[in-house]
Amino acid sequence: MKKYPNPKSPSFSKNAATKKKTDDPKPVSFFEVVYKIARKIPKGRVTTYGAIAEAADIKLTPRMVGWAMNGAGNAKPAVPAHRVVNRNGELSGRQFFATPTLMQELLEQEGVTIKNDKVSDFKTVFWNPGKPKAASATKAVKKVVKKKA
């Protein structure tokens, strides 16, 4: 008979499902996945919620990425949430910063030109996070297994 964890036992913790296993190098929550990708955005560049969702490769929607970025202010280490804009280059997340102009100010400090709450040279400063290397490594392993079969 299968045993289930007892939530009343002292060894059970409420966040047991989100704890990392020591032998598992993968991030546990989609928040961690999103933040890991966002931390890689170079200074002076921007990316989109959709690009992060696609790079995460775990069936995230751009809205879920936006939701995660809304909580990025509490993340450690810091997440450069100001570098994430919508697909049109608009500063759609600016209302979640301490002041309505902070997102723009942070981007301009990094050399990104903003006009009317939109990145002026969006195609030039866009950074594509691409697919994670682990995903391509998984595909390579699958190819080797198929060849052996």
Alpha-carbon gap, residue 7 to 21, rounded angstroms:
19
Question: For position 20, what pLDDT does the model report?
Answer: 47
What is the DSSP secondary-structure string of 50-72? HHHHHHHTS---HHHHHHHHHTG
pLDDT digits (tens, 9 = 90+) for 84-126: 999 999 999 999 999 999 999 999 999 999 999 999 999 999 9
Say if residues 60 and 140 touch (Cβ distance below 8 Å).
Answer: no
Label the pairing between strands 114-115 and 47-48.
Answer: unpaired
Among residues 72, 31, 65, the alpha carbon closest in space to that of 48 is found at: 65
* Residue 26 pLDDT: 58
Give the per-residue pLDDT at 58: 81
Local structure of residue 28 (DSSP, 8 states): S
pLDDT in the model for residue 60: 80
Residue 141 confidence (pLDDT) above 60? no
Query: Quick one: pLDDT band at residue 137, thresholds 50, 70, 90?
Result: very low
- Rounded Cα–Cα distance for residues 100 and 102 (Å): 6
Confidence of residue 29 (pLDDT cuts 50, 70, 90): confident
Q: What is the pLDDT of residues 48-59, one digit of tens each?
A: 999 999 999 888
For the stretch 122-134, pLDDT in tens is 999 999 998 655 4
Q: Largest Cα–Cα distance in the chain?
A: 64
